[in-house]
Chains A and B, each alone.
Chain A
Amino acid sequence: MTGLPQSSATIAAGLASGRYPAGGLAFPHRDLTGIGQLARHEILFLLDEAEQWVALNRQPQKGADLLSGLTIINAFFENSTRTLLSFEIAGKRLGADVVNMHAATSSVKKGETLIDTAMTLNAMRADAIVIRHASSGAVRLIAEKVDCPVLNAGDGQHEHPTQALLDALTIRHALGLPPQSDLNGVRVTICGDLLHSRVARSNMLALTALGADVNVCAPPALMPAGIEAMGVTPFTDFNAALKGAQVVMMLRLQQERMEGQFIPSPREYRHLYGLTLDRLARAEPDALIMHPGPMNRGIEIDSQVADHASRSLITRQVESGVAIRMACLDVLTRRARGVPGWADLPEIKAGSAP
């Protein structure tokens, strides 16, 4: 790992917080439906598990056979390119048989209910199901009905947990923080369509759990009510929100999710909330730039910013994504694979009280 030197106090704090229980107790959940279900040490555990896969993915020979013989179904009820590809690559690098189901070509179009589809997938004896769906809570609903681990690849406007994990891992690497560190005191500004963004929700939960100071910024119509209860500081003035930011995370303007007019025009949105080089100067001098993709270049983010050689982390986010998803698939299938220390421990299923 390369990066900036950090104070010994930060390292000490990170190590102290990085302790987690042994074996399966480190991650007792059967499913990954959201960051909201995770404790801080569980988030750190997944980040730390991903470190080995970051290293492996940089080798020419990337194969592992941990999940050999297992079937992973990527059930995507909503269009996706990068997340689907990322999960598919993650599963294949671990040696699993990966099958993709696209809603556009499935019986969902013929009126089959979500539960019926889930029961069908379950009957095919998948070892893990990765789900993306346009409705908040849909993944959890499926998780309650099937017998294998379920991973949320984005449900409506609710959560996108692997995105938040990969963002946290990317920040940790970019700041040169060692494994087991949390993000204590790191100042992050998230700006954009907070109302419609599951990425923002998961990131707010993950970053605040890891100790970061999070500013969030959106025009009033795209600012969810009561957001300060999530431990973040809301702004409508982007310039003010950027002050002191070490990391600036831009969100996609999700015009396809908007029912009714939330902003007068993309041009006006860019005027107030677009991340330009000029505006970036209001953040910390070396502030890092993130975006979950796909970007609306020239609306929420200018190309000079998105393509900034030293400060843009956007492609590194994609790289971390594969490692994080490998870690999640590995960890969630450990019980089924009979990994010592995991197989004999009870698991917490989504929907059951911990």
Chain B
Amino acid sequence: MIAHPLTIIGGRLALPHGAPLPGAIRCENGLIAALGDIAPEDGDEVIDARGALVAPGLVDFGVFAIDKPAFHFGGITRAALMPDQAPPLDHPARVRFAAQSGKPDMWVHPLAAATRGLEGRELAELALMREAGARAAATGRDWLGDSGVMLRLMQYCAMLGLVVVSHAEDAGIAGNAVATAGEMATRLGLPAAPAEAEALAVARDLALAELTGARLHLRQVTTASALDLVRRAKASGIQVTAGVTPAHFMLSDLELADFRTFCRLSPPLRSDADRQAVVGAIADGTIDVIASGHDPRGPEDKRLPFADAEPGMAGAETLLPLTLTLVRDGHIDMARAFALLARNPAMLLGVNAGRLVVGAEADIALVEPTRPWIVDRARMAATAGNTPFDRRPVEGRVVGLFKGGSRVA
């Protein structure tokens, strides 16, 4: 579906560098044809952004469900789908189906299951899944515990040019933990594991990345000690990127009081010192990607005792406003916010999107960055309202969304 040409005027362009600039953007054949101080051409559909921020559509690196209404609400035009589906994305046919599942108005980029059945034992058919549209190989929700398998995976992915997406949490230490060891977990009597379970896993993955030359993406790095390891690895030239979700820079394990299962996440919420370390790592460039981890869960998974509930949060709708709190608080500027939300994840996926430049796909979100609203779990666009941010006042709302130059919301 190729839309006829479109020009958005009267907005402020969130360009890859610098502060947003007033200007217009013209889309033709699904691509950005021109931007800046330009005027609509004859026959263009003209849309007045009325002062809104004209930003790249968000590229959400690591979601567990395709939830189009929630993605569109949140300004997300592309999402990398985790292989943890039923059945897992460990077969080329399933990858091909998933890659088509959102088109045309929402593009899904499947992440191939690194191992058959995500069991961590045998490598899946990664080359065939790459041909079918897989953009990276992911270990899934769980740590790949066998270091020998991880070594062979990374060697193979280095050859194929696939990014390896790892969940870094040492399972031997984490065990059946549902919280980070500390005063909160102790008071609540919840199974808990020390935060070092993450650093231990990150250290191994970094060593293997250095050994194999594979590109490693740590989907969630949430502790100060693991972030230090990533920081040093980047300085020494290891090809590693790190991601996080808003939960780990907004919330700490204090939220677990009252056994709130919407705060049951994987990895679990950390201490406030770790939360602050995540904010610091976003500011200094150690963290490259902020993703929603979108994982809508109904009452059958969440209205249970804390340790019995499934982990995960519905995050697509709150991804943008919560990231904008970092801009408002002065930790990052607007250009960096959209690098974290769109440009960097698009680069990881190897897609020509995620930034406003001529020739890129015309995935565009119109954002009113200071428009206030209140998160309400009962009125979410997502298929379930399991947000740990319920009743939180936030700022930043998507008022228009374009995928490949066509309006979708």
A residues lining the B interface (CB < 8 Å): 36, 113-115, 133, 135-138, 140-141, 155-159, 198, 201, 224-227, 229-230, 259-260, 351
Given the known inter-chain contacts A136-B190, A259-B176, A260-B175, please indicate yes or no for A141 contacting B304, CB distance below 8 A: yes
What chain A residues lie within 8 Å of B258 (beta carbons)?
140, 351
Give Cα A331 to B144, complex, Å: 53
Contacts A225-B194, A260-B175; A137 near B186 (Cβ below 8 A): no
17 A-B residue pairs with Cβ-Cβ distance under 8 Å, sorted by A, are: A36-B187, A113-B304, A114-B305, A135-B306, A136-B189, A137-B305, A137-B306, A137-B307, A138-B308, A140-B258, A155-B305, A198-B189, A201-B187, A226-B185, A227-B186, A230-B186, A351-B258
The answer to whether A136 touches B175 (Cβ under 8 A) is no
Is the CB–CB distance between A156 and B305 below 8 Å? yes
B328 surroundings in chain A (CB, below 8 A): none
Measured in the bound complex, the distance between the Cα atoms of B184 and A36 in whole Å is: 12
Q: Are B185 and A224 in contact (CB under 8 A)?
A: yes
8 more contacts with CB within 8 A, not counting A137-B306, A201-B186, are: A135-B305, A136-B306, A138-B305, A156-B305, A225-B185, A226-B183, A227-B186, A260-B175
- Which residues of B pack against A, CB within 8 Å? 175-176, 181-183, 185-192, 194, 258-259, 299-300, 303-308
- With contacts A137-B259, A140-B258 known, is A113 near B303, CB below 8 A? yes
Contacts of B183 in A (CB 8 A): 225-226, 229-230
Cβ-defined partner of A226 (8 Å) among B186, B190, B305, B308:
B186
A115→B298 CA distance, assembly (Å): 14
In the complex, the answer to whether A224 meets B186 with C-beta atoms within 8 Å is yes
Distance A226 CA – B181 CA, assembled complex (angstroms):
8
Output the least CB separation between A340 and chain B (Å): 33
- Tell me if A135 and B308 are in contact (CB < 8 A): yes
Q: B258 → chain A, closest Cβ, in Å?
A: 7
Q: Are B186 and A136 in contact (CB under 8 A)?
A: no
Q: Across the interface, which residues of B come within 8 angstroms of A227, CB to CB?
A: 186
Q: Is B307 touching A135 in the complex (CB atoms < 8 A)?
A: yes
Q: What CA separation (Å) do A288 and B257 show in the bound complex?
A: 35
> For the complex, what is the distance from the CA of A201 to the CA of B207, rounded to whole Å?
41
A353 CB to closest chain B CB (Å) equals 10
Shortest C-beta distance, A195 to chain B (Å), equals 9
Residues of B within 8 A of A351 (CB): 258
Residues of A within 8 A of B304 (CB): 113-115, 135, 141
A115→B182 CA distance, assembly (Å)? 29
| Chain B residue contacts of A133, Cβ below 8 A | 305
Task: Give the one of B191, B194, B308 with max A CB within 10 A.
Answer: B308
Q: How far is the CB of A337 from chain B (nearest CB, A)?
A: 29
Whole-angstrom distance from the CB of B400 to the nearest CB of chain A? Answer: 39
Q: How far is the CA of A145 from the CA of B80 in the complex (A)?
A: 38
Closest Cβ–Cβ distance, residue A251 to chain B (whole Å)? 14
Docked-complex contact B307 and A156, CB < 8 angstroms: yes
A115 touches B303 (CB 8 A): yes
Q: Which residue of A lies closest to B178 (CB)?
A: A136
Q: Give the residues in chain B near A157, CB-CB below 8 Å.
A: 189-191
B300 cross-chain contacts in A, Cβ below 8 A: 113
Please, how many angstroms separate the alpha-carbon atoms of A128 and B307 in the complex? 25
> Which residues of A have CB within 8 Å of B176?
259
* A201/B305 in contact, CB under 8 A: no
Q: Give the CA-CA distance A140 to B306 in the complex, in Å.
A: 11
Bound-complex Cα distance A157 to B185 (A): 10
Chain A residues positioned under 8 Å from B191 (CB to CB): 157
| Among A155, A225, A229, residue most surrounded by chain B Cβ atoms (within 10 Å) | A225
Q: Name, among B183, B189, B303, the residue most crowded by chain A CB atoms within 10 Å (CB to CB).
A: B189
CB distance from A161 to the nearest CB of B (A): 12
Q: With a CB–CB cut-off of 8 A, which chain B residues contact A224? A: 181, 185-186, 192
B308 nearest CB neighbor, chain A only: A135
Residue among B175, B194, B259 making CB contact with A140, cutoff 8 Å: B259
Q: Which residue of A lies closest to B172 (CB)?
A: A260
Nearest 4 CB-CB pairs, A to B? Answer: A137-B259, A135-B305, A157-B189, A158-B189
Q: Is the CB of B189 within 8 A of A229?
A: no
Q: Which chain B residue has the least Cβ–Cβ distance from A228?
A: B183
Residues in B neighbouring A225, C-beta threshold 8 A: 181-183, 185-186, 192, 194
What separation, in Å, do the CA atoms of A155 and B185 have in the docked complex? Answer: 14
Q: How far is the CB of B48 from chain A (nearest CB, A)?
A: 46
In Å, the complex CA distance between A159 and B303 comes to 20
Residues in A with CB closer than 8 Å to B306 are 135-137
Q: Indicate if the CB atoms of A230 and B187 lie closer than 8 Å.
A: yes
Distance in angstroms from B195 CB to nearest chain A CB is: 10
